[in-house]
Amino acid sequence: MRETAEDKENTMSRFVKNKTKMVFYFSMEFLIGKLLENYLINLGLLDVVVKGLSDLGIDFYDLAEMENDPGLGSGGLGRLSACFLDSMASTGIAGYGVGLRFRFGLFKQRIDNGYQIEQPDAWLTNEYPWEMAKPSEAVEVKFGGVVDRTYDNGKLGFIHKGYDSVLAVPYDIPIVGYGGKNITSLRIFQALPMDDTVDMQAFNNGKYAEAMAKKSEAEAITCILYPEDGQPSGRVLRIKQEYLMVSAGIASILRIYESIYGNDAWADMPKHVSIHINDTHPAFCIPELMRVLLDDKGLEWDDAWDITRGVVSYTNHTVLPEALEKWPSDMLQHVVPRIYMIIEEIDRRFKEMLRNELGDWYNNCRNMGIIVDGMTRMANLSIIGSHHVNGVAEIHSQILKADLFKDFYLMNPDKFSNKTNGISHRRFLMQSNKPLASLITDCIGESWKKDPEKLSGLEKYANDKSVLEKLAAVKRESKARLASYISKKSGIDVDVDSIFDIQVKRMHAYKRQLLNAFKVLWLYNGIKDGSVTLPHPCVFIFSGKAAQGYHFAKEVIKFICSVADKVNSDEKVSKVIKVVFIENFCVSVAQQIYPAADISEQISTAGMEASGTGNMKFMMNGAITLGTLDGANVEISRLVGNDNCKIFGMTAEEVAHALRSREYNSRQFVSGHGTLSKITGQLVDGFFNSSGQSFWGIHDALMSRNDEFFVLKDFDSYVGAWMELSNTYGDSKVWNRMSLINIAKSGFFSSDRTIAEYDRDIWNTKGV
């Protein structure tokens, strides 16, 4: 560890000496997963260590299993940022992560009688071995108070008074690039009180909670990820989290910058520094950098603005209206008054520019303004205050341009681009599927590890019987490993020779786990009454967490578990199909699941999944995608062709049309559909009484709220596609060939490619 720390300093010194442009990747989430094995692989030491420990009678993998998997994130966005750090370090980009050190990660999920139980994820309790505290680099972050104006020698000044201070203490986690040449870091900040005191008087009067109040209030800021924001207090806390991350992160950046370039080279900052904001959660980077340049460094507005926009770039990860951040303006003004003043001024100038340059001022201001109807819209701030905006898959970027950010796009088309997501092939293939990695290396040599597009070399084995058989054997081995994990965790025995059909991701209505569960219930009904025969047994595997307050998603978990009970306890049906819900989906569980899949379920309502990255992980491990034309499924299907994946369902245009025209009526649709009448009836007619529940929430979403995610509308097409795909499984030659082609085409989805595109089009760390 000490040597790694030294190498990290050496890497930084090299970047400093060469004046390499640095990228600071700000993100609320970093799902880095376990690191020990990753470090050893990237340092080229894994074999030596495994052997050395084994000589001592210690199994390395038992040891590695004991490491905590930090839950510093909730889903795709958080894992993406971790893959990006890995790719930046591995491809020689001076990229550093900036985030928060949450005391509790996203909850640990237990399933009890089919219900999700949330338990605190206290990942720091026994200390986290990879982090290094840097108390000497802690900075003060100011909240609340008022801002006074001064007028001195013709220059307007601002003095922030009466604020509360919190200390942001950095902890650095090393990020070891492949080959061990570059070691960068993820810097996460923890909030602490400025001085570690208690109110002695209150304490001695027995008012212990009051005595500690300041400390608790400060520490609450980095206590948990995404606190409930239904109440104003929750929203204030989230604003504080975001501002603390940004203010402390920017202070770190400026300290490095001044040490290299001095304190009067601000105009050159865009040449030397990129600040990338991962969704809008770090959008305060824009007003905060303005604040420092204006108030602390004494720059004029126009100069500070050019620098800020030159430095900042922004990625959007969602088009769902409820996930677009907006804050009540009066709340912002209260919590971060100087920052709010700057946002107001950015907004005022932007609206003035609209008045001068475009017609239809009123509508343009309503669509593109930052502050509208008393709310401050963080996406619009992020677009206006950055030099580049991207989406995360082709269809998503298209929707941003044609719909969500249309007016911005028309004003400034060159500012928008697509950067299709990627995944670390080192973690999700080399590390988590070693048998497959060695088969690949046996066929095409080692070069794919550094240059994943070389996986395409596998294609020439598409008709090679012996390679295809080895591929099937490798898959079977992974399935056996997952089967034993399932048996250990849930006591359910699954047949390794059945099809492993897997859907793992956050539980969300638009991801339509419900559609998958309906398919299983349909199979149950059909197998029971003899109307369906399956050519091949199948295990349906689900895993994913529902947000704590998201009742519908939790009901879907209970529904899946209830269907599982019905299926698994039925003598006839359970011979043909099984259903498993694996609890506590997280990076390390995910790594065991992807290698074992035959069918990858990517069935979101078209137009709603920005990209998806699980789809890529499954594909890279040889699973066949069963999906809608949504997110990166579009790129997957184009790359492998329709012979090697199965696309079904409404297109994004059809979904948009159906929503606009209101032609779809779910009740009417179901009333003419025997199968769906039966299934929607079973939700509430006592069919599930034995598991103690009816599913009125699901029933009402479908029948009274008109099935807004088109679960019922896509049902026939989905089931038809699934039947075709599962029939193909019987022809092992065809299936294994499909699997091999998926692996061969998956090099495109390495995050090394994604990062190279960000660098080429946005960051330009190698110069233009």
Q: Which residues are catalytic?
A: 317, 505-506, 511, 613, 617
Rounded Cα gap, residues 392 and 318, in angstroms: 9
Output 20 or 628, the one with its CB closest to ligand 26Q: 628
User: Does 392 interact with ligand 26Q (rule: CB under 6 A)?
Assistant: yes
From the list 111, 307, 143, 134, the residue with the least C-alpha distance to 240 is: 143
Q: Does 327 bind ligand 26Q (CB under 6 A)?
A: no
Q: Which of residues 33-92 bind ligand 26Q (CB under 6 A)?
A: 75-77, 80
Within positions 624 to 643, which residues make up the interface with ligand 26Q, using CB under 6 A?
631
Residue at shortest CB range from ligand 26Q: 76
Quote helix, strand, coil % in the chain, to nearest 5: 55, 15, 30
Tell me which stretch binds ligand 26Q (CB under 6 A): 331-339, 451-459, 603-611, 705-713.
603-611
- Which of 323, 353, 402, 410 binds ligand 26Q (CB under 6 A)? It is 323
| Number of residues forming the site for ligand 26Q (CB under 6 A) | 18
Residue with Cβ nearer ligand 26Q (50 or 392): 392
Shortest distance (Å) from residue 355 CB to ligand 26Q: 31
Site for ligand 26Q contains 501 (CB under 6 A)? no
Q: Does 347 bind ligand 26Q (CB under 6 A)?
A: no
| Cβ atoms of residues 208 and 189 within 8 Å | no
Annotate each residue in 399-438 with x if it binds ligand 26Q (CB under 6 A) or - if it does not, as one string.
Answer: ----------------------x-----------------
Phi, psi of 111 (to 5 degrees): -110, 120
609 touching ligand 26Q, by CB under 6 A: yes
Rounded to 5 degrees, what are φ and ψ at 260?
-90, -45
User: 582 has which bridge partners?
Assistant: 543
Of 141-149, 250-258, 589-597, 609-617, the segment contacting ligand 26Q by CB under 6 A is 609-617
Report how far Cα 94 is from the mean position of its chain's Cα atoms: 22
State the DSSP string of 355-370: HHH-S-HHHHHHHH-S
Of 56-64, 103-111, 348-356, 608-616, which segment contacts ligand 26Q by CB under 6 A? 608-616
CA-CA distance, 608 to 510, in Å (whole number)? Answer: 7
Closer CB to ligand 26Q, residue 133 or residue 323?
323
Which of these ranges, 4-12, 179-187, 315-323, 694-702, lies near ligand 26Q under the rule CB under 6 A? 315-323
Q: How far is residue 671's CA from residue 241's CA, in Å, rounded to a whole number?
A: 49
Rounded to a whole number of angstroms, the minimum distance from the CB of residue 78 to ligand 26Q is 7
- Looking at beta carbons only, is 23 or 520 nearer to ligand 26Q? 23
User: Closest CB to ligand 26Q among 290 and 370?
Assistant: 370
The H-or-E segment that residue 37 falls in is: helix 36-43
CB of 318 to ligand 26Q, least distance (A): 5
- Is 282 one of the binding residues for ligand 26Q (CB under 6 A)? no
Decide: 339 and 284 in contact? Cβ < 8 Å: yes
Buried b (16+ CB within 10 A) or exposed e, 81-110: bbbbbbbbbbbbbbbbbbbbbbbbbbbbbe
Contact between 516 and ligand 26Q per CB under 6 A = no
Q: Does 117 bind ligand 26Q (CB under 6 A)?
A: no
Do 74 and 106 meet the contact criterion of CB atoms below 8 Å apart? yes
Q: Which two tokens stand for residue 17?
A: 């000496």
**Total length of the chain:** 768
Q: Tell me how far apart the alpha carbons of residues 242 and 28 are, in angstroms, rounded to a whole number.
A: 8
Q: Which two structure tokens, joined as six digits, stand for 573?
A: 């049906």
Nearer CB in complex with ligand 26Q: 130/226: 226
Contact between 610 and ligand 26Q by CB under 6 A: the answer reads: yes
Is residue 9 within 8 A of residue 174, CB to CB? The reply is: no
Q: Among 86-94, 316-324, 436-444, 578-586, which window interacts with ligand 26Q (CB under 6 A)?
A: 316-324
The interface with ligand 26Q within residues 190-249 (CB under 6 A) comprises: 226, 229
Which of 75/170 has CB closer to ligand 26Q?
75
Q: According to the binding rule CB under 6 A, does residue 613 interact with ligand 26Q?
A: yes
For 479, residues 6+ apart whose C-beta sits below 8 A from its C-beta are: 496, 500, 596
Nearest to 400 by CA among 415, 381, 385: 415
Question: Residue 592 phi/psi, 5° resolution?
Answer: -85, -25
Alpha carbons 160 and 149: distance in angstroms, whole number: 9
Q: Which is nearer to ligand 26Q, 368 or 610 (CB)?
A: 610
The nearest distance, CB 699 to ligand 26Q, in angstroms, is: 26
Give the footprint of ligand 26Q on this chain (CB under 6 A).
75-77, 80, 226, 229, 317-318, 323, 325, 392, 421, 609-613, 631
